[in-house]
Structure 1
């Protein structure tokens, strides 16, 4: 007849390898203790038969919950991406219906606020040369000064001195700046350095780690649409 180890008199807490070895040597002791089996989530069915139902089911439920949560997150991201793409395509149609350069700037600001929940949007154009009504003027080298000589985009916190959003400037916490090079009909210059700027009222609305494909697409639509008309002096 096996005898349980006297753990109360041990000089130190028993280690699992010792307990495991003892259980392997005396399995019937555990099988005969029905209350202990039930406490650890096991259900005995006669001699030498133990059902792992409760413990196994608990683990399966936990796995199922994790998978369901992951699926919900993926579905939520997919819905958000689809909604953003749809709004972007509708915004592009709105911009292409512009009647002139000033109307283009007005429409860009309107779609930024109405369709994307931004504080505003603006078009900035470098001198020399005329600047259409409703556009922002930049001094020579202004675009390179904001994006770097070869920079195409910049996303991050708004900063002092940008001043592209007019009355909405105080609301803008983060910005996306996209380089443009429109070629206006009748201009002596082949292209002009320009910016398409978007301002978000949220600190994390635009960050350096964020993809900018959608705002870059809008900027390209603005650039190509602007090339329909000459700049009137």
Structure 2
């Protein structure tokens, strides 16, 4: 025997009355303590009902709410930035350890080309040295630059961050087309040719002028120390 179809009651529930709200709050005295965000949503009563007197309380409360929202936004931005900085610092330390474990100039060239992109979340990394009085090691992955190339590229600085740029084939070779932003870091190993550690990203804002350069400088010092130990071993 066929069952009768059941009808679904789609009638919306009646709105909550003011009396019900008041009664609920009386029975739950800690409700606003448990939900402090609601206080910022409530409209406080005016102390004056019309007339020539202006109630500045409303204006002050409105300003305080705006300041609270601004402070909340600043706090969230600070937390996000701190987490990003910690992640970058951890990545840099891991990259430094990989470089120290390379063991030779050949190993250094391999770590820069193969390991640094993944460790530092970039798309390409290269290393090279200027031609000078001392012969450069002939090692795959180590690029050769003409004399004064670093001065023309970096000027007097040690680190250059470029956003919304195109990659220089002299620095990035065939991978220059991948580069939309880059970091160029001077290498100045004692009594050895000057060099350049370069990293490029597809992201136009992967590197930009507002970033700090301390960690890049730290990584350059690690690379310089390794170069001084391994230069003649290959």
TM-score range, shorter chain: 0.5 to 0.7
Alignment match, 1:207:
208
Is the 2:167–2:176 Cα contact (8 Å) retained in structure 1?
no
- RMSD of aligned alpha carbons: 3.0
Alignment match, 2:101:
97
Alignment match, 1:153:
159
Counterpart of 1:130 (choices 136, 143, 149) is 136
Structure 2 residue 147 is matched with structure 1 residue 140 = yes
Is the 1:126–1:193 Cα contact (8 Å) retained in structure 2?
yes
Is the 2:100–2:226 Cα contact (8 Å) retained in structure 1?
yes
Change (3 A) 1:161 1:44: closer
- Counterparts of 1:1-233 in structure 2, within 5 Å, are 41-42=45-46, 59-128=63-132, 129-131=135-137, 132-148=139-155, 150-157=156-163, 158-159=165-166, 161-183=168-190, 190-231=191-232
Give the distance between the partners of 1:160 and 1:94, measured in 2 at CA.
25
Displacement of 1:213 in angstroms is 1.4
Larger mean Cα displacement after TM superposition, 121-130 or 162-171: 162-171
Is the 1:180–1:196 Cα contact (8 Å) retained in structure 2?
yes
Is the 1:180–1:219 Cα contact (8 Å) retained in structure 2?
yes
Give the distance between the partners of 2:116 and 2:76, measured in 1 at CA.
28
Change (3 A) 1:152 1:56: closer
Give the distance between the partners of 1:55 and 1:160, measured in 2 at CA.
54
Looking at CA atoms only, which structure, 1 or 2, has the larger radius of gyration? Answer: 1
Displacement of 1:55 in angstroms is 6.9
Is the 1:156–1:207 Cα contact (8 Å) retained in structure 2?
yes
Give the distance between the partners of 1:208 and 1:44, measured in 2 at CA.
53
| TM-score when normalising by structure 2 | 0.67
Per-residue CA distance 1:8-27 (angstroms, 9 max, x = gap) = xxxxxxxxxxxxxxxxxxxx
Task: Give the unaligned 5+ runs of structure 1.
Answer: 1-38, 46-50, 184-189
SS of 1:151 mapped into structure 2: coil
SS of 1:91 mapped into structure 2: helix
| TM-score when normalising by structure 1 | 0.67
Displacement of 1:125 in angstroms is 0.7
SS of 1:140 mapped into structure 2: coil
Per-residue CA distance 1:59-117 (angstroms, 9 max, x = gap) = 54443322222111111111111111111112111111112112112212334321222
Paired positions, count: 184
Give the distance between the partners of 2:188 and 2:178, measured in 1 at CA.
28
Is the 1:124–1:135 Cα contact (8 Å) retained in structure 2?
yes
Give the distance between the partners of 2:90 and 2:118, measured in 1 at CA.
14
Give the distance between the partners of 2:56 and 2:182, measured in 1 at CA.
57
Is the 1:42–1:52 Cα contact (8 Å) retained in structure 2?
no
Give the distance between the partners of 1:55 and 1:130, measured in 2 at CA.
72
